Amino acid sequence: MDSETVVQKTLHRSSSRGGANFGWLQSRHTFSFGNYFNAERVHFGALRVLNDDQVAPGAGFPTHPHENMEIVSIPLSGALEHKDTTGTDGVIRTGDVQIMSAGTGIAHSEYNHSDEEPVKFLQIWVIPEKMDISPRYDQKAFRSDDRKNRFQLLVSPAASEDTLWINQNAYFSMADLESGTTLDYKMNDASNGLYLFLISGKLKIGDEQLAERDGLGLIGRSEYHLEAESPATVLAIEVPVDGF
C-alpha cells in the first residue's frame, strides 16, 4: 500500500449528524439536508446526501419531485414501497438496492410496506456526471453471502448484470466482517475519494476507530486497510472529488 502518501481525512461521528423527527419519520443527516445546514458538511466530492431514515408503520413520503440527481436507497430492515412517474410500482426489501436517475425530472413516493414494523433504510444522493438524462429506475437483490469478509460491489458506472448502473464515476460496495477480520479496499479510480459509513460494529482504518453510524472520508491513496474490532457491516462509497 502507498503508505507514504498523505491522506486527507474527514471524520463524521454519528452523534455529530443533523437530524429531524416528524413522528412518522426519524432521520439523521450526515450532510446538510432539509432544515439542517452546516457549511462544512455540504458534500464529500460528488456524494451530496447520506440520510439514515426510519419510517413508522404505514407511513411514508408522499409524491415529490427530483431532478439531476442519482438517488440510491438501501433498506437495512423492513421493506419500502416505491411508485414513480416512470411507471414503476414495486417494493424493495432488505437485501435489495434501488437506484433512480432523476435526470430531467421525476416524481416518486416511498411508503413503509408494513403496517406493523418500521422500515430503516439509507437514502444516498450522488451528483450526476451527465445532466438532463432521461429519468430511469432500477433495483436488484444481492446475496448477503457474497459480502462475507469481502467487499461486494453493488453500484458501478459500468453496465453489468451483477451491479446497478450509476450516472457517475462512482462505486458502492458493502462488506459484512467477522470480528478480527482484516480487509483492503482497493480504489477503482485512484483519483476518487472514499467515504466509509459504518452501519454496525466497530472498525479500525489506520489510526481512526469507527463506531456504529460513524463516517470517514478518505482522499489520497489507492488502497485502504480495514480491521474489524467486532462483527461489522460497512458501506464503501467511492466518488469523484475533483471539481466539487
Q: Is 2 a residue whose pLDDT tops 90?
A: no
Report the pLDDT value the prediction gives residue 3, as an integer from 0 to 100: 56
Q: Is residue 220 part of a domain?
A: yes
**Are 97 and 155 within 8 A, CB to CB?**
yes
- In whole angstroms, what is the distance from residue 163 CA to residue 238 CA? 15
- CATH (domain of 149): 2.60.120.10
- In whole angstroms, what is the distance from residue 99 CA to residue 104 CA? 16
Q: Is residue 59 part of a domain?
A: yes
Average pLDDT for the chain = 95
pTM: 0.96
Report the pLDDT value the prediction gives residue 159, as an integer from 0 to 100: 84
Please choose, from the candidates 238, 242, 243, the residue with its C-alpha nearest in 3D space to the C-alpha of residue 195: 238
Overall number of domains in the chain: 1
Residue 35, domain extent: 8-240
Report the pLDDT value the prediction gives residue 4, as an integer from 0 to 100: 61
Residue with cell 429506475: 137
- In whole angstroms, what is the distance from residue 225 CA to residue 169 CA? 22
Please choose, from the candidates 19, 23, 92, the residue with its C-alpha nearest in 3D space to the C-alpha of residue 50: 19
Q: Is residue 110 part of a domain?
A: yes
Q: Is residue 104 part of a domain?
A: yes
Other residues' Cβ atoms within 10 Å of the Cβ of residue 4: 6
Residue type, 183: L
Q: Is 80 a residue whose pLDDT tops 80?
A: yes
Q: Is residue 1 part of a domain?
A: no
